[in-house]
Structure formats: C-alpha cells, structure tokens
Amino acid sequence: MGLVASVTRLFQEHPDIAKNVREKDQLVKAAYMNDLLSLIETLNKPPCTLSVTELSKDLRELMELKEAGFKLNWLKKKHDEVSLEWKKAKFDGTRDQEFEKHAKNLKAEEHKEKVKAATCAAKEDWLKGVVRSWNEWRVRMGFVGKAKIN
C-alpha cells in the first residue's frame, strides 16, 4: 500500500487523529506522519519478531506524537497488546529454551556416566587379562607350582 493510501486510510479510520496538532510547519507534520505510519507498521508485525529495543523506541515515539497533539489512545492500546503478546512469547520461548537446555544437560550427564562405566569395565577386563597372563607366565616358567588361573 502506498504512502498516500496509508494516510488516507488512517484518516478514514480515525478522522480526529490530528485534530489537536498545532504544528504549522509542513516538514514537521510530514515527519510526524512518517513516524506514525512507521509505528503502525511495526505494531502490525508478529510480536515475536520485535525486539525490546523496538518496543521501547515505539513507545517513546508514541508518547512524543501524543504530546504533539495526536489522538492515539487506540494506538497506545495496540502497543500495550503487542507488548503483552511479546512478553508472553518471550517467557514461553525462554521457558522452552531452559527446558531444552536442562534436557541436553541430562543427556550429556547420562552419556558421561555410560562412557565412564564402559571405561571402568574395559580397564577391569584389561587388568584381569594382565593378571591371568602373568599367572600363566609364572606357571610356564616354573616359578610356582600349579597356580589357579582365573
């Protein structure tokens, strides 16, 4: 949608939006409108795509526009809704990330325990083999009588 169409639609939906704006300079008015359209565009994005910095910046711009005389209670309400949805998405995402991290840590610990157990078993088998070989060697060399070989 073009800029003129966006502005036209905005004034159709909110005819008294700029009723109290006293600024006479056309460049300043144009800057206000650009800020307002940018703010509306941002607030129409999915909340999870926004950053806390964007939401804070948008709130500051919204307050500045209200101070300039724009009637933006409807947009403030929209900002509050988007911020709440963002917080919910952030909380749910954080909780999911924490759960995944915990699950990965548990799997890593389980893997370490399995490796440790396998290593211990291998060392024990190796040691038994060394002892058996030593005993066999002693018997063959005649150092001992009949030895019990495990």
Encode the chain (150 residues) as per-residue pLDDT tens digits.
566 677 788 888 888 888 888 888 888 888 888 899 899 999 999 888 888 899 999 999 999 999 999 999 999 999 999 999 888 887 766 656 665 676 687 788 878 878 887 787 777 777 787 778 888 877 877 776 555 555
This prediction has a pTM of 0.57
Angle at alpha carbon of residue 125, lines to 122 and 131, rounded to 5° = 140
Alpha-carbon span 136 to 143, nearest angstrom: 10
DSSP string, 110-148: HHHHHHHHHHHHHHHHHHHHHHHHHHHHHHHHTSSSSPP
- How many secondary structure helices (H) and strands (E) does the chain include? 4, 0
CB atoms within 10 A of CB 32: 19
Write the DSSP symbol of residue 47: G
